[in-house]
Chain A
């Protein structure tokens, strides 16, 4: 049996789990290719117009796997942490895909509650049944998959550069180098290192998030807010670049909360969608880096005359 795994959305974070699980069950896994133009085009063709780009890209990945496998994994990730959600689109992802892409093979779309191993195993039982009837095999594959996932670290923290930028955003925007037009490499080429949210301790995130009036109920929002607030407070970086998909509901809230928290700290939001032109992105990154450099070299942070214009009100 061939299981197709689309390389979109939270694949970047959880692929060791899914890959190991299905391989251990004895199924063959086939992963769609890296995101590219034709996948994006396929996604735009099949997906509802209003959706954000990562969801469209995911549609493209599924469509590209359509004729290559017997079943496609569409993870319906409901929760990763207790009392928190991901995004409504993740909960309804299988429906969006199944009703819009014709001629799909079987689909694995059981809800995933990854709050603890026991609830996650509920998913494994259902999903594994497609491949094998043997409960023990499923159990073993599940345990192996969890342990492989726990050992897996993503996250970028480059130490060799003098200046550093905190790269924030949803994991699929940061790690899908086609969607973000290779921003990591572009920054490195300009002599800028990068730190991502995986390098901040949970306790620090919790303490930052605890200061909010309303507990954020999205896992993305909690992680990113906690990360940026800590990075700002502890001076882990010289500036923040936030990669955000156009029309992302979570980001529209989160960016405001972050701006409120970090005040005048250099902060740039890069909006990406299926129309983003690379030249414009390059220009903005270069301008931002120039600003960071000048800030470091020349600026004494004392306004020469009158009031300084905080970047929250200014051009960024």
Chain B
């Protein structure tokens, strides 16, 4: 059994650490590229959202490398993501790939015992003791937390660095090196070293960079390929960015959700505009926008794939927040047709607007 999984930002590093630790064979699909998306959009239904298409590309490319099992998380709506597993199984079957799907779904829907059965399908492949296996899970969590921390640090410090693109280079180097590690402990140590390196980046604290919050649909904000590397672009522009939705946030949120104590601050901030959970991460998106304003950021960029149901609702609400709080918010809708030039123009125009607002005091009136 060779396990593969779809890409989503830095998740591959954590999964790599997990399977390296457990000693299970796995295939990391090639990094998302135009090719991936081309394969994906060739086979996928036309109207499905972008993440689905990229994922199909991942599977097909992984199959070429010998993968035969897909590990996927599920959800139970109302967002489309929950239906991915069924559709992707059918589609891959039709394409002639004999994949076995292991869907880690909410225990509320499939039952606790079924969930453990599905997890056991993977864990029994490893000959380690239970204790060691749990340790590996812990390593994977450490990795995901560390990579997210590095991301956040680099994205924020990019506005203050003295040497242009130093943070960006450091961040890319950290990922490149982490992908080369062959055991989880080594990877964790390496990431910790990089964390220290970020503390040595020369900063100009007198700078007042433009600060932007990246909000929107979780896959498109986390997976850099799907948003045309917006965070890298902003780092090169010397803009500080902040993003709350990360894989580590997702894990924490999911574990905490049965207690209803998950992401309390976002819930509190979204209360004024959207007081109910409507599926996907619409409520978090609203909460983040309000929070970004209260934290004194200069603007927010919402990103979502074309046709995303929950984010359409939040897109309808954001203009009101923008108006009420005098807080610029731009929405970028991405799909496989998004052209980079138009995209960049919009980002640059938005940055110009934010910069001018900062320089001219008049903007407050």
Q: Chain A interface (Cβ within 8 Å of chain B)?
A: 47-48, 50-51, 76, 78, 83-89, 91-92, 95-96, 99-100, 111, 212-218, 247-253, 255-257, 260
Say if the beta carbon of B49 comes within 8 Å of chain A.
yes
30 contacts between A and B (CB under 8 A): A50-B306, A50-B307, A50-B333, A51-B312, A78-B276, A87-B78, A91-B313, A92-B314, A95-B317, A99-B316, A100-B316, A100-B319, A100-B320, A213-B86, A213-B89, A214-B83, A217-B77, A217-B78, A247-B47, A249-B308, A252-B48, A252-B49, A252-B80, A252-B307, A253-B48, A255-B45, A256-B48, A256-B87, A256-B90, A257-B83
Question: Cβ of A213: which chain B residues have Cβ within 8 Å of it?
Answer: 85-86, 89
Interface with A: B150-158, B278-286, B341-349, which one? B278-286
Question: Cβ of B109: which chain A residues have Cβ within 8 Å of it?
Answer: 83, 215
State whether B48 touches A48 (Cβ < 8 A).
Answer: no
User: What's the Cα separation between A250 and B307 when bound, in Å?
Assistant: 10
Q: How far is the CB of B220 from chain A (nearest CB, A)?
A: 14
User: What's the Cα separation between A249 and B78 when bound, in Å?
Assistant: 10
Residue of A84, A99, A212 with most chain B CB atoms under a 10 A cut-off:
A99
Q: How far is the CB of B102 from chain A (nearest CB, A)?
A: 12
Residue of B85, B89, B282, B309 with most chain A CB atoms under a 10 A cut-off:
B309
Q: How far is the CB of A43 from chain B (nearest CB, A)?
A: 13
Say if the beta carbon of B310 comes within 8 Å of chain A.
yes
State whether B77 touches A212 (Cβ < 8 A).
Answer: no
Say if the beta carbon of B249 comes within 8 Å of chain A.
no
State whether B82 touches A217 (Cβ < 8 A).
Answer: yes
State whether A253 touches B80 (Cβ < 8 A).
Answer: yes
User: What's the Cα separation between A78 and B333 when bound, in Å?
Assistant: 26
State whether B278 touches A96 (Cβ < 8 A).
Answer: no
Given contacts A87-B78, A88-B310, A91-B279, whether A50 and B47 have CB atoms under 8 Å apart is: no
Q: Mark B115-143, 1 if CB is under 8 A from A, else 0.
A: 00000000000000000000000000000
**Which chain A residue has the least Cβ–Cβ distance from B323?**
A99
Q: How far is the CB of B189 from chain A (nearest CB, A)?
A: 40
Contact for A88 among B47, B79, B85, CB less than 8 A: B79
| Number of chain B interface residues as a range | 35 or more
Q: How far is the CB of A23 from chain B (nearest CB, A)?
A: 28
Question: Cβ of A252: which chain B residues have Cβ within 8 Å of it?
Answer: 45, 47-49, 80, 307
Contact for A50 among B74, B83, B276, B315, CB less than 8 A: B315
User: What's the Cα separation between A249 and B47 when bound, in Å?
Assistant: 8
Given contacts A212-B86, A214-B85, A252-B307, whether A92 and B274 have CB atoms under 8 Å apart is: yes
Say if the beta carbon of B99 comes within 8 Å of chain A.
no
State whether B45 touches A214 (Cβ < 8 A).
Answer: no
Q: How far is the CB of A5 from chain B (nearest CB, A)?
A: 22
User: What's the Cα separation between A256 and B78 when bound, in Å?
Assistant: 17
State whether A257 touches B86 (Cβ < 8 A).
Answer: yes
Contact for B313 among A78, A85, A92, A255, CB less than 8 A: A92
**Which chain B residue has the least Cβ–Cβ distance from A216?**
B83
User: What's the Cα separation between A214 and B80 when bound, in Å?
Assistant: 12
Q: What 10 new A-B contacts, CB under 8 Å, besides A51-B312, A87-B309?
A: A87-B78, A89-B312, A91-B276, A214-B74, A217-B77, A218-B78, A247-B307, A252-B47, A253-B80, A256-B87
Question: Cβ of B87: which chain A residues have Cβ within 8 Å of it?
Answer: 253, 256-257
Question: Cβ of B333: which chain A residues have Cβ within 8 Å of it?
Answer: 50
State whether B279 touches A99 (Cβ < 8 A).
Answer: no
**Which chain A residue has the least Cβ–Cβ distance from B307?**
A247
Say if the beta carbon of B76 comes within 8 Å of chain A.
yes
Question: Cβ of B49: which chain A residues have Cβ within 8 Å of it?
Answer: 249, 252
State whether B86 touches A214 (Cβ < 8 A).
Answer: yes
User: What's the Cα separation between A247 and B306 when bound, in Å?
Assistant: 8
Nearest 6 Cβ contacts at the A-B interface: A92-B313, A217-B77, A85-B78, A91-B278, A252-B47, A99-B320
Question: Cβ of B312: which chain A residues have Cβ within 8 Å of it?
Answer: 48, 50-51, 88-89
Question: Cβ of B86: which chain A residues have Cβ within 8 Å of it?
Answer: 212-214, 257
Say if the beta carbon of B198 comes within 8 Å of chain A.
no
**Which chain B residue has the least Cβ–Cβ distance from A93?**
B313
Q: How far is the CB of B293 from chain A (nearest CB, A)?
A: 16
State whether A91 touches B78 (Cβ < 8 A).
Answer: yes
Question: Cβ of B80: which chain A residues have Cβ within 8 Å of it?
Answer: 249-250, 252-253
Question: Cβ of A253: which chain B residues have Cβ within 8 Å of it?
Answer: 48, 80, 83, 87
Q: Mark B295-317, 1 if CB is under 8 A from A, else 0.
A: 00000000000111110111111
State whether B317 touches A88 (Cβ < 8 A).
Answer: no
Say if the beta carbon of B273 comes within 8 Å of chain A.
yes
**Which chain B residue has the least Cβ–Cβ distance from A76?**
B276
State whether B317 touches A218 (Cβ < 8 A).
Answer: no
Question: Cβ of A88: which chain B residues have Cβ within 8 Å of it?
Answer: 78-79, 278-280, 282, 309-310, 312-313
Question: Cβ of A256: which chain B residues have Cβ within 8 Å of it?
Answer: 45, 48, 87, 90-91
Residue of B49, B278, B308 with most chain A CB atoms under a 10 A cut-off:
B278
**Which chain A residue has the least Cβ–Cβ distance from B94?**
A260
User: What's the Cα separation between A99 and B217 when bound, in Å?
Assistant: 21
State whether B90 touches A260 (Cβ < 8 A).
Answer: yes
State whether A95 touches B313 (Cβ < 8 A).
Answer: yes
Question: Cβ of A91: which chain B residues have Cβ within 8 Å of it?
Answer: 78, 276-279, 313
